Structure 1
Amino acid sequence: MDRILLEATDRSPKVDFDFAGGRFALEGEAYPEDAAAFFGPLLQGLKQHVQAQPAAAIRFDVALSYFNSSSAKALMNLFMVLEEAAAAGAAVAIGWHYQEGDDSLQEAGEDFSADFTHARFEMIETPA
């Protein structure tokens, strides 16, 4: 599968889905006008990657400074694919990056992490 590289816009995050390297990243703000249209191809690509290489290690980093509820649902859909891959035996690590003092993003990451039993979910605080 070809790498998905999208530059950030004022409403959507930078995307770097490196399927060959098993490294995936979202960075910036996520409140696209149509979250399903934006995240749909990312979800499909991730699903195809996991199906094609079920044992491949995955590193998924999320460094969002803001996201809306539609994007939160899309993130959860991505995370569910990762959790299923980990349950099937793949080494999956999710890095949730948030700025020091940003309690709401820290809490959002903690809320997401509560849904994981197989994938490793890491809370990564960065200096403000």
Structure 2
Amino acid sequence: MKSLIIPEGNYTPYICFDTDTNVFEVAGESYSEYTLEFFEPVLSWLSGYLAQNSQSLTFNFRMNYFNTSTSRRFFEILKMLEDFYHQQNNEVVIHWYAKSNDLDMIEAGEDYKDDFATLPFHISVQKID
């Protein structure tokens, strides 16, 4: 399966699901009113890839901002990764990146970590002076 790469848009994040390295990333900002339309093909691609993948996977979230609608899509992504982790017994590692002065982003990562407690979920806080 070919990698999925979607450039960052005005209201949509950068998507890079690299099938050569199995490092997947969502980065930037996501506050479109139409997150379902944006994320539907992403979720479909991810579902198809996970169904045939037998390798370990790293998933990075490097968000500066996202709206409530996007948070639902992230939940769906994490649920897919959790199912893959348990059904395929493959290693999945989640990295949630946030700046030390972005308490909302840190809290969002902590909430997802709690929601998906069986996934290896790491929150990396970059110190901002």
TM-score grouping bracket, smaller chain normalisation: over 0.9
TM-fit CA distance, 1:3: 1.2
1:46 aligns with 2:72: no
Whether the 8 Å contact between 1:86 and 1:118 is mirrored in structure 2 is no
**TM-score normalised by length of structure 1:** 0.93
The aligned counterpart of 2:6 is 6
The residue type equivalent to 1:66 in the other structure is: Y
SS at match of 1:2: coil
The 5 A counterparts of 1:67-86 are 67-86=66-85
Separation in 2, partners of 1:33, 1:127? 31
Query: Following superposition of structure 1 onto structure 2, how do residues 16-27 of structure 1 map, counting pairs within 5 Å?
Result: 16-27=16-27
Contact 1:91 1:119 in 2 (8 A): no
Structure 1 unpaired stretches of 5+: none
Moved over 4 A (4+): none
d(CA) in 1 for partners of 2:19, 2:37: 20
Q: State the one-letter code of the partner of 1:58.
A: L
Unmatched tracts of structure 2, length 5 or more: none
For 1:111 and 1:59, the matched residues in 2 are separated by 19
Distance in 1, Cα, partners of 2:48 & 2:122: 24
Aligned length: 127
What is the CA–CA distance in structure 2 between the aligned matches of 1:20 and 1:2, rounded to whole Å? 9
